[in-house]
Amino acid sequence: MREISTSVTFEIRPGETVPMRIARGTRLTVHGSRVWATRSNDTEDYWLAPGDRLKLRERERLWLSVDGDRPACVVFTIVPRGDQRAVRWLSTGIERLAQRFRSGWRTV
């Protein structure tokens, strides 16, 4: 079985602070207004403009708020684990190699 949905989108309204708990390695992408983010175990605050991305760690806590008077959309995208990426890269390479030999053509 393969996971199909790898992203979740939330809308954050002005004046709202949203607490989040990150279960898996995730990438946060901002759309709309700027977003203020505070992370657990991190002394820095992050101001994310639309289009900015922030890589989040597994089991991390996160607090999000909007900077401005317009809502912001935040998209959480699951980052594939390293071992999954390696297996996918290897299987894709093997399949490409097999296609070259099956077709009878050689690439120069």
pLDDT of residue 41: 86
pLDDT of residue 33: 92
In a domain, 75, yes or no: yes
In a domain, 30, yes or no: yes
In a domain, 102, yes or no: no
- Which helix (H) or strand (E) segment is 83 a member of? helix 82-103
- Pick from 21, 13, 7: which is nearest to 67 by CA? 13
pLDDT at 99 over 80: no
pLDDT at 4 over 60: no
Q: How many domains is the chain partitioned into structurally?
A: 1
pLDDT at 95 over 70: yes
pLDDT at 83 over 70: no
pLDDT of residue 6: 79
Containing structural domain, residue 16: 7-79
Helix (H, G, I), strand (E, B) or coil at 108: coil
Helix (H, G, I), strand (E, B) or coil at 43: coil
In a domain, 41, yes or no: yes
- Pick from 28, 33, 35, 31: which is nearest to 65 by CA? 35
In a domain, 99, yes or no: no
Maximum average pLDDT range among 22-26, 57-61, 70-74, 95-99: 70-74
pLDDT of residue 42: 87
User: CATH code at 67?
Assistant: 2.60.120.10
pLDDT of residue 92: 78
In a domain, 106, yes or no: no
pLDDT in tens, 12-68: 999 999 999 988 888 999 999 999 999 998 889 999 999 999 999 888 999 999 988
Pairing of strands 7-12, 61-78: antiparallel
In a domain, 91, yes or no: no
In a domain, 94, yes or no: no
